[in-house]
Amino acid sequence: MPRDSFSTTGAVCAATLLGLGLSAAPALAGPQCTREPSAKWLDAAKFRTDLEARGYAIARFKTTSGHCYEIYGKDKAGTKVEIYFDPVDGKIVKQERR
């Protein structure tokens, strides 16, 4: 096989893999919750405590790259949830029940 065939095949494979990687990225990204500076955000520990007082059993609480507070856990009814909250006002931006 001519040497150019290998270069072309390699380039096509690389472009395909790169395209697949980029197309999957948006599906993994969560919502953008705020652009406000973190100085305006609710205190994370207090917010978590408030959520627990409202009946959420939180397995994981984190701050996302989209500037959200995100929880994984269960609601009052025991249903598994993943919820993104706006850290400025505490409102739900997105939620999934499983």
Dist. CA 52–CA 12, nearest whole Å: 51
pLDDT digits (tens, 9 = 90+) for 8-66: 555 554 544 445 444 444 445 789 999 999 999 999 999 999 999 999 999 999 999 99
- CA-derived radius of gyration, the chain: 21
Three-state secondary structure call for residue 57: strand
**Half-sphere exposure for 95 (CA within 13 Å, toward CB):** 13
Number of CB atoms found within 10 A of residue 21's CB:
9
Maximum distance among all alpha carbons in the chain? 70
Task: State the DSSP code for 67.
Answer: S
User: pTM of the prediction?
Assistant: 0.71
